[in-house]
């Protein structure tokens, strides 16, 4: 089934509809009513019931674990709809941001499935349900992503990738593209960070000391998170700064879902990724995109109410890539940082019009 063969409005509506999706079998209303906002919300999110209330049937039906390494084996959780008999020309690769997981793309994954497209999303090492690492150099993480692509995509699908990154995942997406651009058709950057994160430079001696301290003693940051942030429930920074809209019942469920995921974030991994941060060579990226010509297009999408990565960051990234082919900058009104959870209907509409429709 192709994008020309479907009712796209119906696909978007179904992809955003969460009724009947929680694997617990409880209704959205019952779940939202059960989890009372406030200082005890974080504790209730750590119970096994919450794991079932905030996991969708779609994710459960498509998730798997991929094993890597020899003696020091590790696992990555992935979610994909690529079957052994598939032969298609395009696979969408999703890379989440700092502290995120693959579930943040859930509406987009469902849209692709509805329209007959193949996707692969993964929990980065140290986040979601993937194993932790000792260190997280961005280049090493890119290689882990590449291995996942080789294991799941290369042997089953004849075609190229559309890479979709969110927040820090945009940096990883660009590093992936710069090394393996011959395998990439499109680069989609959702809410990209500041083009040059100078405070993470190795020359910032005192910041580096602080990050190393956090890596060695992550429980210090856990105390702050639990006693001064998560105790505020849905008014915590991970919700207040990531969402802008109210969104009704499904919006309330998605905020609780995000909060459930936030509680699971490993503080040590956050410090590890900051220490492993590698800047982007924007001149090299511009030259690579220019040489690719019509073979690679670029889409940058952000929310105008994003407090984490403001619109200016997306605009600056676009300005640094004047020679990119088919470059588009899309600003979604009344939307915060977590695009797919905050305003899924509009994000899916823009994604269809500016990415999927290009496949016709």
- pLDDT of 45 reads 96
- pLDDT of 85 reads 67
Query: Rounded CA gap, 224 and 86, in Å?
Result: 48
Q: Among this protein's residues, is 297 annotated catalytic?
A: no
Instruction: Round the average pLDDT of the chain to a whole number and report it.
Output: 93
Following DSSP, what letter does each residue of 183-223 receive, concatenated? Answer: GEEEEEEES---S--GGGSTT-HHHHHHHHHHHH-HHHHHH
Query: Rounded CA gap, 300 and 285, in Å?
Result: 14
Mean predicted confidence (pLDDT) in 54-66: 97
Query: Rounded CA gap, 58 and 22, in Å?
Result: 9
Q: Using the predicted structure, report yes or no on whether residue 226 has a pLDDT greater than 70.
A: yes
pLDDT in tens, 259-308: 999 999 999 999 999 999 999 999 999 999 999 887 889 999 999 999 99
pLDDT in tens, 313-345: 999 999 999 999 889 999 999 999 999 999 999
Tell me if 12 sits within 8 A of 111, measured CB to CB.
yes
At 234 the three-state DSSP class reads: helix
Q: Which CATH superfamily is domain 3-359 in?
A: Alpha/Beta hydrolase fold, catalytic domain (3.40.50.1820)
Task: Report the first-to-last Cα separation within the chain, whole angstroms.
Answer: 12
Which one, of 356, 354, 284, 296, lies nearest residue 324 by Cα? 296
- pLDDT of 158 reads 64
- Kindly name the residue from 130, 167, 269, 314 that is annotated as catalytic: 167
Count the residues in the chain: 360
Q: Where does the pLDDT of residue 1 fall: very low under 50, low under 70, confident under 90, or very high at 90 and above?
A: very low
Query: Rounded CA gap, 202 and 209, in Å?
Result: 10
């Amino acid at each position: 089934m192709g994008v020309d063969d479907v009712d796209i409005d119906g696909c978007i509506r179904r992809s955003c509809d969460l009724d009947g999706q929680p694997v617990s079998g409880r209704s959205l209303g019952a779940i939202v009513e059960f989890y009372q906002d406030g200082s005890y919300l974080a504790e209730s999110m750590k119970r096994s019931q919450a794991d079932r209330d905030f996991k969708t049937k779609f994710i459960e039906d498509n998730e798997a674990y991929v094993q890597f390494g020899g003696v020091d084996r590790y696992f990555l959780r992935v979610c994909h709809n690529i079957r052994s008999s598939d032969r298609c020309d395009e696979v969408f690769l999703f890379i989440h941001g700092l502290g995120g997981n693959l579930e943040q793309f859930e509406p987009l994954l469902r849209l692709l499935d509805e329209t007959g497209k193949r996707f692969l999303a993964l929990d980065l090492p140290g986040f979601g349900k993937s194993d932790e690492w000792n260190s997280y150099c961005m280049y090493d993480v890119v290689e882990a992503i590449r291995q996942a692509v080789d294991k799941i995509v290369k042997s089953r699908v004849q075609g190229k990738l559309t890479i979709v990154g969110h927040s820090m995942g945009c940096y990883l997406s660009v590093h992936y593209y710069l090394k393996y651009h011959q395998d990439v058709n499109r680069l989609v950057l959702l809410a990209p960070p500041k083009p040059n994160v100078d405070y993470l430079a190795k020359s910032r001696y005192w910041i580096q000391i602080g990050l190393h301290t956090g890596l060695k003693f992550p429980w210090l940051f856990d105390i702050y998170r639990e006693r001064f942030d998560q105790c505020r429930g849905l008014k915590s920074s991970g919700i207040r700064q990531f969402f802008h809209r109210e969104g009704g019942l499904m919006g309330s469920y998605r905020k609780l879902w995000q909060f459930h995921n936030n509680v699971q974030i490993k503080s040590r991994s956050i410090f590890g990724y900051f220490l492993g941060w590698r800047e982007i060579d924007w001149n090299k990226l511009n030259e690579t995109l220019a040489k690719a010509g019509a073979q690679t297009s670029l889409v940058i999408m952000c929310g105008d109410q994003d407090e984490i990565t403001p619109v200016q960051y997306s605009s600056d990234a676009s300005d640094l890539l004047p020679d990119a082919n088919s470059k588009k900058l899309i600003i979604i009104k009344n939307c915060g940082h977590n695009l797919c959870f905050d305003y899924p209907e509009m994000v899916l509409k823009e994604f269809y019009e500016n990415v999927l429709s290009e496949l016709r």
